[in-house]
Amino acid sequence: MRKIVLIILGLILVAGSYFGAQTIIENKKIPKPKIDKIVKTVFVETAFNKVIPITISSNGTVIAKNRLELYAENQGIFNSSAQNFKVGQEYRRGQTLLSIDASEFYASVQAARSDFKNLVTSIMPDLRLDYPEAFPVWDRYLSALDIENSLPELPATTSEKVNYFITGRGLQGSYYNIKNLENRLGKFRITAPYTGVLTEVLVTKGALIRQGQKLGEFIDTSVFEVELSVAKQYSDLLKKGNSVALETIDGKETFNGKVIRVSESIDQASQTIKVFVEVKGATIKEGMYLQAALDARKEDNAIRISRKLLINEKQLFVVRDSVLALIEVNPVYFSTKDVVIKGVPDGTQIVSQNIPGAYPGMLVKIGNSSSNGEDSAAQQTDSN
């Protein structure tokens, strides 16, 4: 009897526990979790369309626009120079760069002039008898001949007979041979065609100079050129006369230049076009490395932004009523860091710094300044 009572009590206890648990489960109320709303702080810039100058960046080495390589056309001893013939020496325009001893050659030129004068003298009797109308002209010419000076130009003849007579006596051939010698005589002295400096010297005073030998290099220090390489896709933007802003690598010096030549061919290896910029400056030296910004054209009703802000190369995040939105824009020029775009209405609030995880419709809060850096562009704030 005792065992039966215990069994009945156990069953009653189990049944009570079951029904009690079911009651508790059915009557249990789960409180809804409280979700905090997260709002990101963004920084914006107000768009104002204006005329944007499009510039193309490049770099190149400075070279002298006017360069003279000195070569000897005659043989002789290096006799003299107006200055000390050394690298870095400045010469004024018209000064003698280098003079070669021409005493021996000068003597041969004088002998040739003397022979020519004798030849003219020998035809004078025949001219007096056969062509009296031409005699006074040639008589004055003979009086003007001086073996110490260059031959004067032959008298003009109107008569064919006189011309045949002069030619038959060999006067014209002799005259032009002497003129050739006089021209060579002038090449024993090399003068500076412009004010500049010597950049290379290969001979010294007293040295024997041979025909065809290189003597040095002389450059004009008043004007220089910078050769730039520009990508071919910008070839339609380059025009002769465009202004160019140049600066040194450290940015301490700036210069103004202009495009003077644009190559018509494209380099096959680099697919670039060569552009030559003329630049002047007292501190410019040949061999300097300059960075350039070429003014290619001006774009009306456009703005310039960082390339990092462009989405898929044609969209841009803006803020409208504290909500992010994507708008379509028209990029017209890409540089290394910036992009010039059109199609943004004036007054539009453009997101000026990247936002991690941004999407259209995202709730944001506009910050007070856009100069805190990219690290602070996506700060989070909790609101109740």
For residue range 255-313, what is the model confidence (pLDDT) as tens digits? 998 989 988 888 888 888 898 999 998 889 998 999 887 777 788 889 998 888 888 88
Domain shared by 234 and 358, yes or no: no
| Torsions phi, psi for 333 (to 5 deg) | -160, 135
Domain shared by 256 and 310, yes or no: no
> In CATH, what number is assigned to the domain containing residue 196?
2.40.50.100
- What average pLDDT is seen over the chain? 85
Tell me which of 267, 299, 331 is where a domain ends. 299
What's the CA dihedral at 365, 368, 370, 375 to 10 degrees? Answer: -60
What's the pLDDT score for residue 377? 36
What's the pLDDT score for residue 251? 82
Domain shared by 123 and 145, yes or no: yes
Domain shared by 89 and 212, yes or no: yes
- Nearest-angstrom CA–CA distance, 80 and 67: 22
Q: Judging by DSSP bridges, how do beta strands 254-266 and 243-248 pair with one another? A: antiparallel
Domain shared by 309 and 339, yes or no: yes
Domain shared by 266 and 243, yes or no: yes
- Nearest-angstrom CA–CA distance, 327 and 321: 15
**Domain for residue 36, yes or no?**
no
**Domain for residue 116, yes or no?**
yes
Domain shared by 91 and 115, yes or no: no
**Domain for residue 35, yes or no?**
no
What's the pLDDT score for residue 28? 60
**Could you list the residue range(s) of the whole structural domain that residue 132 is in?**
104-186
Number of domains comprising the chain: 5
Are 136 and 155 in contact by the 8 Å Cβ rule? The answer is no
**Domain for residue 122, yes or no?**
yes
> In CATH, what number is assigned to the domain containing residue 235?
2.40.30.170
Tell me whether residue 211 is exposed, middle or buried, using C-beta atoms within 10 angstroms of its C-beta: 0 to 12, 13 to 18, 19 or more. exposed
Domain shared by 181 and 206, yes or no: no
**Domain for residue 192, yes or no?**
yes
Closest CA to 74 of 213, 264, 177, 217: 213
Per-residue pLDDT at 111 exceeds 60: yes
**Domain for residue 312, yes or no?**
yes
Distance of CA 196 to the CA centre of its chain: 23
Tell me which of 299, 329, 363 is where a domain ends. 299
Domain shared by 96 and 112, yes or no: no
**Domain for residue 226, yes or no?**
yes
Strand partners, 60: 290
What's the pLDDT score for residue 33? 60
Per-residue pLDDT band for 198 (boundaries 50, 70, 90) equals: very high
**Domain for residue 85, yes or no?**
yes
Tell me which of 275, 299, 323 is where a domain ends. 299
| pLDDT tens string 120-155 | 999 989 888 888 888 899 899 999 998 888 899 988
> In CATH, what number is assigned to the domain containing residue 314?
2.40.420.20
What's the pLDDT score for residue 373? 38
Q: Which two tokens stand for residue 129?
A: 């008898």
Domain shared by 182 and 110, yes or no: yes
Domain shared by 195 and 76, yes or no: yes
Domain shared by 109 and 245, yes or no: no
Closest CA to 291 of 5, 9, 55: 55
Three-state SS for the chain is CHHHHHHHHHHHHHHHHHHHHHHHHHHCCCCCCCCCEEEEEECEEECCCEEEEEEEEEEEEEEECCEEEEECCCCEEEEECCCCCCCCCEECCCCEEEEECCHHHHHHHHHHHHHHHHHHHHHHHHHHHHCCCCHHHHHHHHHHCCCCCCCCCCCCCCCHHHHHHHHHCCHHHHHHHHHHHHHHHHCCEEECCCCEEEEEECCCCCCEECCCCEEEEEEECCCEEEEEEEEHHHHHHCCCCCEEEEEECCCCCEEEEEEEEEEEEECCCCCEEEEEEEECCCCCCCCCEEEEEEEEEEEEEEEEEEHHHEECCCEEEEEECCEEEEEECEEEEECCCEEEEECCCCCCEEECCCCCCCCCCCEEEECCCCCCCHHHCCEEEEEC
Q: Which of 9-13, 56-60, 194-198, 205-209 has the lowest mean pLDDT?
A: 9-13
Per-residue pLDDT at 116 exceeds 80: yes
